[in-house]
Every structure is written in C-alpha cells, then in structure tokens.
Amino acid sequence: MTVVVEIAGLELAGPHGALEAERQEPQPFLYDVELELDEPASDELVQTVDYREAVALIRDVSQSRHFHLLESLAATVADTMLARFPAARSVYVRVRKAHVEVGLPVDYTAASVRRERR
C-alpha cells in the first residue's frame, strides 16, 4: 500500500517571474506538494517524510535563484524532492501565483509537475 504526504497552500515570497519588474520585489507564491511513498511500517517519523524538511527544501529551492517560469520552479522543486527523499515513489508539485497581470481578473496562474522514480 502507498500513502500520500501532502503540503497544501505553503506561501513563500520569491523574486520569480518572466518580467524584470516581477523579479525586483519578492511576491507570494503558493506551493501544493504531494509525495507518494510506501505506507510506513511503524508509527515513527523516520518511516515517512518530515514536513519540516520538505518545507525547508521548498524554501531553499525558491531562494536559490530567480526563476523566470513557474514551470521551471515547479520542476526544480519536484526533482529536488525526489533526490532528497528516496522513499518517495513520485512527487507532484503545483506552484500558484496570485498576483499576475493578464489583462482580466484571475484567481491565480499555476504550473504543475509530476515526477516518478524510475
């Protein structure tokens, strides 16, 4: 059996965007992450993914550089998650951007990436 560890709506500010003005001032991004792994054999934290480590990893990736594309940011988070958490079979990452100018009202724009261990 497998379980899914989820982090929903993690808000981190970052200097990301396609436009230079977007990279000048950090803006809020929302992260939704799902890690699929084997069901823990015991009721111990070492048997799963520690949320605190996952959040720290997302923060580190966001602060590592200025991303132009949400797609690149989501992919880098997903790849880093799989590298850091060997128990994860797969990872899904969605990065949402609420403050975006597209000429019409929108709740947010987003990019999603799914990676599976080979």
The whole-angstrom separation of Cα 85 and Cα 36 is 11
The whole-angstrom separation of Cα 4 and Cα 55 is 16
pLDDT digits (tens, 9 = 90+) for 49-90: 999 999 999 999 999 999 999 999 999 999 999 999 999 999
Containing structural domain, residue 102: 2-116
pLDDT digits (tens, 9 = 90+) for 10-63: 999 999 988 888 888 899 999 999 999 999 898 988 888 999 999 999 999 999
CA 21 to mean position of chain CA atoms: 23
The whole-angstrom separation of Cα 110 and Cα 49 is 25
Tokens 């128990």 map to which residue? 87
**Total tally of structural domains belonging to the chain:** 1
Catalytic residue among 97, 99, 100, 116: 97
The whole-angstrom separation of Cα 15 and Cα 97 is 12
Q: What is the CATH number of the domain that holds 38?
A: 3.30.1130.10
| Residue 102 pLDDT grade (very low, low, confident, very high; cuts 50, 70, 90) | confident
The answer to whether residue 97 is catalytic is yes
- The pTM of this model reads 0.93
